[in-house]
Chain A
Amino acid sequence: MSSKKEYQYIGKSIYNVNAIAKATGRAKYCSDMQLAGMLYAKVKRSPYPHARIVSIDTSKAERLPGVKAVIIGDEKTCPARFGAGVADEYVLARGKVLYVGDPVAAVAAESEQIAEEAVDLIEVEYEDLPAIFDGEEAFKQNPPVVLHEDLKRYNTLRSVPPRLDENRPNVFNYFRIRRRDVENGFKEADLVFENRFETAMIHHVQMEPHCGVAMVDDSGRLVVWGTSSKPYGMHRDISESRNLPPSAVRVIIPTHVGGAFGGREPKAEQIAASLALGQKGYPKRPVRMWFTREEQLSTTTTRAHYIVDIKTGVRKDGTIVANKMRLLLVGGAYAGTGYLTARNAAFGPAANYKTDHFSLDAYGVYTNQRMAGAYRGFGNAESLWGMESQMDIIAEALKIDPLEFRLKNCTDEGDLNAFGEKMHSVGAKECLHAAAKLIEWGKKTKGSEPHLKRGKGIALGNKYSIVPTASAAIIKVHPDGMVELRTSTVEIGQGSSTIFSQMIAEEFKIPVSKVRVLNPDTDITPFDLGTASSRSTFNMGNAIIKASADAKRQLFELAAKELKANPDDLETADSKVFVKGSPDRSLHIKDLFIPMVIGGYTLKEGAEIIGKATYYLPGVIPDPETGHSERPASFYMFVAQAAEVEVDVQTGKIRVVKIVTANDCGKAINPMTVEGQQEGGVLSMGIGSTLLEEVITDNGVMLNPQFADYKIPTTLDCPTLENYKSAIIETAHREGPWGAKGVGEGTMVCSAPAIANAIYDAIGIRFHEIPITPEKVLRALKKI
C-alpha cells in the first residue's frame, strides 16, 4: 500500500535546516543563554530516601555576600502540587522528602561558586523514615511504607484520568484489558508458558544537561526558558504549582535543544522560576538553573525498572490463543509522566499479535526513588522485552522457526487487536521479511575462535501514538514570500523543523530556504500536546496541511481581486499566484502588499495573511473494565529488528556483530531523518539498554552518576558501517499527512529481545533481565 506518487519536497533527503548553525557552533542552546544581571542557582537536595523535614535554617546562607535569594518549600514558594496526571509534587519538598536528591531549598547568587557555598550553609534537620525501593513490596495491599498518604485527595487529570487502587495505597495508576476469557483460553491451549522478565532503571542521557532560565518581566509576568519537549506541559506545571493564571506565565524553548527522548521534566525550569520570583524587592534578576551531569544522571527522570509477568497459551500448530500479562512500573516518588507510561506499556503487547483471549493488568507504583517516566518507547520496550523473549521460548518448544512463528501470529490490516480495535496501516509482515533478509536469517555464521559463539535473533515490535491528541499550526505569508510556521513542536534533534519546512515547501511550491520555523513560545506559537509519542509528523503535519490551505485561501481571495479571477482557479508556486492553466495571469505575493510611507507594507484588508488550524483527534478512551476501544491510539508504527551477536564464553563479553532494523513509518517525509532516528534508536539506545546501561543504587543513592560508570555506547560498541542495515517500510496511513505516521520511538522497542534472542541462539542461555552484562553471562555459564 505504499504511496508511489512523486513529490517535489516530500520524500526527499534534504539537509537538516539547522545543521549549519550546529556544525559551526553558532547554535544557541538554553545552556548558552546569558542575560544581563543573570544570577546562578544551586539546589540543596535531600540525602535521605524518605524523611520528615523537621526544620530548615537558611540564615547563614542568606547572610553570605553575593546571595540574592534563598527559597524553601513553603506556602509562599510552593503553594500547590503539580504533575502530569497526578498532582503529587511540589517544586521544592514540603513536609517530607521522598527520594535522595529531592530538592528542599535553592539559592540564587552572583556566581555558581557562591550559590554552592550558600547551599552548604543551609542546615536541614530530618527525621529519618523507613524507605521502600522494592516494587513488589510497594505494590502490596499493606505495604510497609506509604509515600503519599493523601493520594486520594490529590488533583488528577480529567482527560485521561489515572485509576487508583483502593487496596494498594502506593499504586498511582492501574489499567486493564479483558478480551474474552483468558482462563478459558488457557484451557483451549495445548501448551502454556509462564515467565517473568525485568528491565533495569536507565537514563536518557541527553547530551545537553537540563537547564532553565527565568525572569520576571517589567509587567510582573514570569518568563521561563527551558529544555522541555512539551512547552505547554511545562507552562501548565509552572502556573499550576504557583496558583498563577496561565496568562501570567510565558514559556520559551530555544530553537535548539540537546536531545530529549522523553525525559525533560522541567525541574530546572521550575526552580529557576521560583528563584526569579523569590528575590526580595527589585530589581528581580534573571536566574539560570543548570544541572550538572551528576545531578542530571542522579536526580532527573528515568526509565523505570519494569517487572513483566507473561503467561501465554498456544496450540501445537503455533497459534497463540491466550495471553495474560501483569506489567509493573516500579516508579519513583512522584508519578510524573510515569502515570501514563504505566498504562500505555500495554499498547505494544495488545497490538503485536492476534490473540483470542487477552488479559492485562498494568500498574505504576511509588517507591523512594526519583521519578520514572517517559522514555523513548513509553513502556513498550519494556513490555515487549517480555513478550518477544517469550515468543522465542515458545517457538523453540514448538520447534517452529521464530520468524515463522511471528509471521503466523502477527496482526495485519483489518485484524482486531486486544482493545477490539480494527487495525489499520500494519507493516508487521513487511518489517519481519525485511529484517530477516537484511540479517540473512537462516544462514549460520561462526566465530573465529572456539570460545567466540555466534547466534542470530529476531523480534517484532510496535509503538502506538497517543490519543486524545491535538496540534495547532499558524502559518504566516510574508510580503517577501517567506512562509513562517509557528509551531510548539520542539526541535530536539529529531528533525521536525526540517520535515515541517518540506511540508510547507510542498504546499506552497517554494524552496525550503523560503520557509522559516519559529521556536516554541507560548506567547506566539499555538498549542501542541508535546514533542512526544512520535506524534509530530502525523499531528503537526496534518495541522500544517490544514493551516496551509487556510493561508492559501486568504492569499487566493486577495489575489483573485487583482487578477480578476475566481479564487478557486488560483494556484501558488515560487512566491507567485497564478491562474491554473494560464501562468501568465500571475502576480508576485509582494504585489498584494502596498509599500507605505515611513516604511513597511500593508494589505488593503485583513491585516496579514495568516492561516491557522488545529488537528484534533479525540480517539476513544478505553473502557475502564475491559479496555475496549475502537480508537485507543492514533496510529501504530511497526518494527522488526534482528541481531547477530558474538559471545566470548571466556570473558562473558557480548559483541553485537550486526544489527538490522525495518521500520514502518507510513511515509518517510525525509528518509535521511528517518534513518537518523533508526540509527540512534537501535545503535545507541537499543544496544545501550540491552547490554550496558543501568542506574545502580544503594539505599536510594545512585552509585554511578558519571559517564565513567554509567556507560552509554561509544563508537566502539556499535557494529561497523557494513554491519548495520536499515529498511524503511511505507505502509501508508489513511489519515497521515502524505500517508506518514511517525518513527522515533519504534526504533528501540524490540532491540533488547532481538539481541537477547541472538544470545540464546549463540550460547543457549535465556536471560530474563537487561542489561545482559559480562558478569551475568559468566554467572549463567557458572564461570564465577
Chain B
Amino acid sequence: MENLRLIINGEEVEALIDPATTLQQFLHNTLGMTGTKEGCGAGLCGCCTVMVDGKAVKSCLILALQVGGKSVQTIEGLAHEDVLDPVQSAFIENGAIQCGFCSPGMIMASKALLKENPHPVENDVRHALSGNLCRCTGYHKIVKAVLSVGERQ
C-alpha cells in the first residue's frame, strides 16, 4: 500500500492505496465519486474524463499515484451546491443528455476545451470531443451546447 495525497475539487485528500489503482478506480470505487464512469478501461471512450491541473485526462489510463500532489477536478466539483456550471446548464438546455453515461466525461472534456479556448468554433469542438464517445445523441446537441457556452462568455 502506498500513501497518496492530492487535491480533489479543492479539498485535500489523503489515502493509503494499492499502487495498481487507477485514478478512475480511486475516484469511483474508493471515494464513491461515481460520476467518473468506466466505459472501456482503455482510454478509448472518454466516460472517465476528469481535469488534472486544468487539463482533460482519461482517468482510467493514469494511476492514482501519478496525480499525487496535483489538483483533480471531477464532475461532482463543477457545480457549486445547486448553482450549475454554464457547461452543465448548456447541456441540459440543449437536450444534449440522453442516457447520461457519457455526460460527465463529455462535460469535463468540454470544460477543459473552453478553459483553453473560450470561443471555439465548431471544428474546435468536434476535435476536442473526438475522444469522447456517445451512442445516444449523434453529438449534434452536444456540439451545439458547447458552442453556446463559447458564444455566451
List residues of chain A with CB under 8 Å of any chain B CB. 13, 15-16, 18-29, 31-32, 34, 204-209, 256-259, 261, 292-293, 492-495, 672-673, 675-676, 679-685, 706-708, 712-716, 718, 720-721, 724
Contacts and interface: CB of A to CB of B under 8 A. Distances in A.
29 contacts: A19-B100, A22-B104, A25-B35, A25-B76, A27-B100, A32-B28, A34-B32, A206-B99, A206-B135, A207-B99, A207-B101, A207-B133, A208-B99, A209-B39, A256-B99, A258-B37, A259-B98, A259-B101, A292-B41, A675-B141, A679-B140, A680-B136, A683-B140, A684-B135, A685-B135, A712-B133, A715-B125, A715-B142, A718-B138
A34 B75 CA distance: 19
Contacts of B100: 18-19, 21-23, 27, 256, 258, 493
B149 interface: no
A702 to B, nearest CB: 15
A643 B126 CA distance: 21
A23 B145 CA distance: 12
Contacts of B79: 24
A13 B97 contact: no
Interface of B: 28, 32-42, 44-45, 47, 74-76, 78-79, 84, 88, 91-93, 95, 97-104, 107, 122, 125-127, 129-144, 147
Contacts of B74: 25
Given A204-B135, A257-B99, A714-B129, 12 more contacts: A19-B100, A24-B79, A205-B135, A207-B136, A293-B39, A676-B95, A682-B138, A713-B138, A714-B133, A714-B139, A715-B130, A716-B130
A680 B138 contact: yes
B104 to A, nearest CB: 5
Contacts of B138: 679-684, 713, 718, 724
Contacts of B122: 720-721
A547 to B, nearest CB: 26
Given A675-B95, A684-B135, A715 B129 contact: yes
Instruction: Identify the 4 closest CB pairs spanning chains A and B, nearest first.
Output: A25-B35, A683-B138, A493-B99, A22-B100
Given A16-B95, A672-B95, A708-B44, A25 B137 contact: no
Contacts of B76: 24-26
B91 A19 contact: yes
A707 B92 contact: no
A675 B137 CA distance: 9
Contacts of B91: 19, 23
A158 to B, nearest CB: 34
Contacts of A209: 38-39
B101 A29 contact: yes
Nearest to B32: A34
Contacts of B39: 207-209, 293
Contact of A16 (B36, B92, B101, B130): B92
A751 to B, nearest CB: 11
A194 B47 CA distance: 46
Nearest to B90: A23
Contacts of A22: 97, 100, 103-104
A746 to B, nearest CB: 15
Contacts of B41: 292-293
B75 A25 contact: yes
Contacts of A256: 99-100
Contacts of A292: 41
Contact of A28 (B34, B93, B140): B34
A437 B11 CA distance: 55
B101 A208 contact: yes
A425 to B, nearest CB: 26
B95 A24 contact: no
The CB with the most chain A CB atoms within 10 A, among B74, B91, B97, B140, is that of B140
A255 to B, nearest CB: 10
Contacts of A495: 98
Nearest to A29: B101
Contacts of B144: 721
A257 B79 CA distance: 23
A676 B135 contact: no
A357 B149 CA distance: 57
A27 B76 CA distance: 11
Contact of A31 (B37, B95, B142): B37
Contacts of A493: 98-101, 136
A548 B111 CA distance: 43
Given A15-B92, A23-B103, A25-B76, A715 B135 contact: no
Given A25-B36, A32-B34, A720-B122, A684 B44 contact: no
Given A15-B93, A684-B136, A24 B75 contact: yes
A258 B101 contact: yes
B135 A15 contact: no
A26 B92 contact: no
A714 B37 CA distance: 19
B98 A680 contact: yes
Nearest to B33: A25
A540 B19 CA distance: 50
Contacts of B93: 15
Contacts of A714: 129-131, 133, 139
> Which of B28, B34, B131: most chain A CB closer than 10 A?
B34
B16 to A, nearest CB: 16
A259 B136 CA distance: 7
B141 A207 contact: no
Contact of A293 (B40, B88, B129): B40
B70 to A, nearest CB: 20
A715 B139 contact: yes
B142 to A, nearest CB: 8
A154 to B, nearest CB: 34
B143 A721 contact: yes
A494 B137 CA distance: 10
Contacts of B137: 676, 679-680, 683-684
B47 A679 contact: no
A384 B78 CA distance: 45
Contacts of A720: 122
Given A25-B76, A684-B134, A706-B44, A15 B95 contact: yes
Contacts of A21: 100
**Central interface residue in B100, B134, B143, by most chain A CB within 10 Å:** B100
A681 B137 CA distance: 8
B102 A676 contact: no
A713 B45 CA distance: 11
